[in-house]
Structure 1
Amino acid sequence: MTSQHTLTAGDADPELEQRLEEELVAFNDTAVGHAPKGGFSVRVQDEASELVGGLTAWTWGGLAGIELLWVRADSRADGWGSRLLAAAETEARRRGCDRMVVSSFTFQAPGFYRKHGFAETGRTLGIPGGAEDVHLFKKLG
């Protein structure tokens, strides 16, 4: 018996993305033992309540991963990136994590993460503009 399948490609599909996330999360939880994934954020605002910088991250089975870290251009020399990262490490430990990962394009901040104790574990080549995506890891003390 032959089944009829249809393969389509097109624009982003939020419904498909949601379904794939649900299916992969269930698969991953089964593969590693039920280890729910969660998220957290850290933000800093100025006196006018304008965003100075922020960080978003996830946790999963003792591992924390930084998704995004950004600091406003006029505040980058003020140490806010380091303070955001330190706060994220503290929050990750509070959530039971003992290690952290992040990736950063070569034109962004891999040196910043190395300065804060992260070690490079690999690179993805072929990023637009001739850049590379640097993957970094840190054991949280």
Structure 2
Amino acid sequence: MTIDERDSGPTLTTGEGDAELSERLDKELTAFNTAVTGAGDYGSFSVKVADGAGELVGGLAAWTWGGLCGISMLWVREDRRKDGWGSKILLAAEEEARRRGCDRVAVSSFTFQAPGFYQRHGYVETGRTLGIPGGNADVHMFKLLTE
């Protein structure tokens, strides 16, 4: 083997976030997941609340796949958190998930965020990831939408 042949082999690099790499990994894993499970109906949606001035009050980002909805993020502006917007956003997302054929939802929330909020809405804890900064955990929750 020549030096040139060895130099043309794989290289491993680390660095800052790489949008192109993330997109490629998503594409490759989606293809693998579809081949293994037969479920290829990936999708995403959002729920957004804006005030009269057009400023963001809160919102939610979610994905769907094979009848499962995964809530990626739900946030409500601090001065509007006691107005019920979190519940309204979550209920709207659950309805959209049903409309898209989902019968179950998964979400996680750090212990210092809102696991109690989700539990009040019928979500049950399925596990925890320990080691979150400050001695916290990531609480994984699940809800059947057919109830």
> What is the TM-score of this pair, normalised by structure 1?
0.94
Match of 1:30 among 19, 27, 35: 35
**Correspondence for 2:142:** 137
**Correspondence for 1:125:** 130
- After superposition, the CA RMSD in angstroms is 1.5
More displaced 10-residue stretch of structure 1: 25-34 or 95-104: 25-34
Q: How does 1:49-60 map to 2 (within 5 A)?
A: 49-60=54-65
Distance 1:8 1:70 in 2: 34
- Are residue 94 (structure 1) and residue 87 (structure 2) matched? no
Question: Cα offset for 1:11?
Answer: 2.1
**Correspondence for 2:77:** 72
- Are residue 43 (structure 1) and residue 44 (structure 2) matched? no
Listed one character per residue, the Cα deviations across residues 5-47 of structure 1 (whole Å, up to 9, x for unaligned) are 2222222222221111111010001111042210011111111
**Correspondence for 1:21:** 26
* Structure 1: 5+ residue stretches without partners: none
Structure 1 outlier segments of 4+, above 4 Å: none
Quick one: percent identity of the two aligned structures?
66
Letter in 1 for 2:89: L
Q: Which entry has the higher C-alpha Rg, 1 or 2?
A: 2
Distance 2:108 2:42 in 1: 19
Paired residue secondary structure (1:35) = coil
- Are residue 107 (structure 1) and residue 107 (structure 2) matched? no
Q: Is the 8 A contact 2:39 2:65 kept in 1?
A: no
> What is the TM-score of this pair, normalised by structure 2?
0.91
- Are residue 11 (structure 1) and residue 16 (structure 2) matched? yes
